[in-house]
Chain A
Amino acid sequence: MFDKVLIANRGEIAVRVIRACRALGMKAVMVYSTADRLSRAVLMADEAYCIGEPEARKSYLDGDKILAVAKACGAGAIHPGYGFLSENAAFARKVEEAGIAFVGPNATAIDAMGDKINSRHAMMKAKVPVIPGIERPSFTKEELAAAAKEIGYPVMLKATAGGGGKGIRIVHQEKDLWSAYERSVGESEKAFGNGTVFVEKAVEGPHHIEFQIFGDKHGNAVHLFERECSVQRRHQKVVEESPSPFMTPELREKMGVAAVKAAQAIGYDNAGTVEFLVDKHRNFYFLEVNTRLQVEHPITELVVGVDLVVEQLRVAAGAKLSFTQEELKQTGHAIELRICAEDPDNNYLPDIGRIESVILPDGPGVRLDSALAAGTEVTLHYDPMLAKLIAWGHDRSEAIGRLKQALTEFKISGLKTNIPFLGDILRDSRFIEGVYDTSFLEGFEKPPLRQDVLEAAIVAAVLFRHVEGGAGMKLVSSGGKGLDPWKSYGRVRGARRL
């Protein structure tokens, strides 16, 4: 095992990895940007090295600098967390070549999954179902009709160079196919300068369900069951839970086998995640493999009873997996909320500022993964996620109840957060019943407010205004005489309409 582990990340995940190192009696080394000098992770670390300016490419993405620190301080391993360098095969390779363990899969496995086309072909070869599709530089009307028929309606037409929903059409019947294709080609030529469009099976009522996988350097691979991640906004996960309310034992068995096959097909030897799309008929299709520790790993830890980060470190040091597939069981239910500094009422724009004070939630079955502390500066340089609030219960409804209570307790002063938005989700009838797919947040409406909560809010607002004065009152005390002449001139001009 390692004496010392360097953590090439920041925020809550750096804190999470420090905890795992400490639990194993290893020293934790932090590298940090100047913006993170007073962050929890740097304060908690055994050693800390400043590696540059806040901008990620000058610090957390500077692999050479990080590797140099690792060599100089004698770290036996580098844990990349998620994001930043975690899925950078070239970095993983350099680390291994320097005789330091990269806490993640081998560079070849990262490479194999980094390319969408290659990974699709690898999965087809391993007999893992992929979304049926046909690609070619261009189609004649007859070729297209034959391709769509072979795949089966409804089909999606997708621009190869696509993104942002441009060049995408869903087609339900043959008579609409050719005109949709022509429009899709035109759109993608305009948007991307490339008119190549391919046909793919349309996944209806899709669920995003992923499987935690784990492999070791001895050829063993297992899965640690699923996570339901269909509560998404613009492909960003907001709420995750395990088990999936949509799952059946038969489907879990089939998907689990496919996930392990996927891991073995690429010689996977650490923690990873196989993402699938599952349609409303419970057909599942391979999407991609995330070759790293996932943000939402805690829900798996709570349900399966495994410390995934500790296991990552053990396996990276060459140990065999400490569990077999047969030993792994799901117990109870866990749900995670991603607490972000953003304003859901203002198009989810990230909010920045200094955290003035914070009251952290706690209680039976409640877990908080965060690096939050009063005085923490939240900047635009990094992800707006502040914390992950997770609750475990014997069943789903107990987990929701515990999560609701913890969320109510959680108070962050100083910037806007999505806490109230998450509270709305937990009270949505579709969420409570566990009947939702990836379209859940489209046109989401706030559930009604309890009458006494609403009245208390109104009374509080009036008393706040009475005690503190409103925005207008504040300006009275600071304004009046010392007006900016240019500002007044602008106002006067505006008012006069000369």
Chain B
Amino acid sequence: MKYVVEHEGEEIELEVQETEDGGYSVLRDGRAILADFKKIEGSRIFSLIVQNKSFEVLIRQDGDLVDIVNHGRGLKLRVESERERNARLIAGEGGSTDGESIKAVMPGIVVAVNVAEGDEVTSGQAVCVLEAMKMENEIRSSVIGKVLKVAVAAGQTVNAGDLLVEIGPPE
């Protein structure tokens, strides 16, 4: 699995492979870093042995950053899977992945539907166009995810509160 780590504005690409002995091989710039990574139960402390160098690391999720204390020094890193990062870049901003039900907030006519069931959407992407009060409004997704259901068709009249599109988490 590929990840991108951001540290002080620099993006570092890494690929994690699980090895047969329960450890990991982390590829960085074509170099394989062999890592044994274990959690100390009941704490947020992890033991990391990389190429026989031992580190006792305190790790916690802090919003969308990973907060690390290693060797008495601290740093905050943004860690994303490659796909999450691409989705974020396309959307131009970060987006939640927890799904949403997009509903009509006022009565109107559906002018166009831009997505189909199974489509991947990014945050900010238009899913349909609703005409209300003689104005066409693009209805956008606020999350990154997959379209579970399209509840309306072009030309249909909707009332306030009617479901338009249901979006679930990305795969």
Report A146 CB to chain B, min CB distance, Å: 53
Secondary structure dominating the interface of A: helix
Contact with B73, one of A449, A475, A494, A495 (Cβ below 8 angstroms): A449
Interface residues on A, range: 35 or more
Binary flags per residue of A436-461, CB closer than 8 Å to B gives 1, else 0: 00000000000001101111111111
Residue B139 is within 8 A (CB to CB) of chain A in the complex: yes
Instruction: Judge whether B45 and A480 touch: CB under 8 Å.
Output: no
Specify which chain B residues have a CB less than 8 angstroms from the CB of A479 in the assembled complex.
Answer: 98-99, 169
Contact with A356, one of B44, B80, B168, B169 (Cβ below 8 angstroms): B44
Residue A416 is within 8 A (CB to CB) of chain B in the complex: yes
Residue A435 is within 8 A (CB to CB) of chain B in the complex: no
Given the contacts A463-B24, A475-B97, A470 and B79 also touching, CB distance less than 8 Å: yes
Interface residues on B, range: 35 or more
Specify which chain A residues have a CB less than 8 angstroms from the CB of B24 in the assembled complex.
Answer: 463, 466
Binds B, one of A50-58, A313-321, A485-493: A485-493
Binary flags per residue of A335-359, CB closer than 8 Å to B gives 1, else 0: 0000000000100000000001101
Residue B116 is within 8 A (CB to CB) of chain A in the complex: no
Specify which chain B residues have a CB less than 8 angstroms from the CB of A450 in the assembled complex.
Answer: 71
Instruction: Judge whether A489 and B105 touch: CB under 8 Å.
Output: yes
Instruction: Judge whether A419 and B26 touch: CB under 8 Å.
Output: no
Specify which chain A residues have a CB less than 8 angstroms from the CB of B137 in the assembled complex.
Answer: 496-498
Secondary structure dominating the interface of B: strand
Chain A residues in the interface with B (C-beta under 8 A): 345, 356-357, 359, 404, 407-408, 410-414, 416, 419-424, 426, 449-450, 452-468, 470-476, 478-481, 483, 488-489, 491-498
Binary flags per residue of B34-74, CB closer than 8 Å to A gives 1, else 0: 01010110111110101001011111110110111111111
A473 to B169, CA, bound (A): 9
Instruction: Judge whether A423 and B74 touch: CB under 8 Å.
Output: yes
Q: Within residues 77 to 126 of chain B, which ones have a CB less than 8 A from any CB in chain A?
A: 77, 79-81, 84, 96-103, 105-106, 124
Instruction: Judge whether A463 and B103 touch: CB under 8 Å.
Output: no
Specify which chain A residues have a CB less than 8 angstroms from the CB of B73 in the assembled complex.
Answer: 420, 423-424, 449, 453, 457
Report A355 CB to chain B, min CB distance, Å: 10
A461 to B48, CA, bound (A): 11
Given the contacts A460-B59, A466-B3, A496 and B139 also touching, CB distance less than 8 Å: yes
Residue B152 is within 8 A (CB to CB) of chain A in the complex: no
Contact with A457, one of B42, B70, B97, B124 (Cβ below 8 angstroms): B70
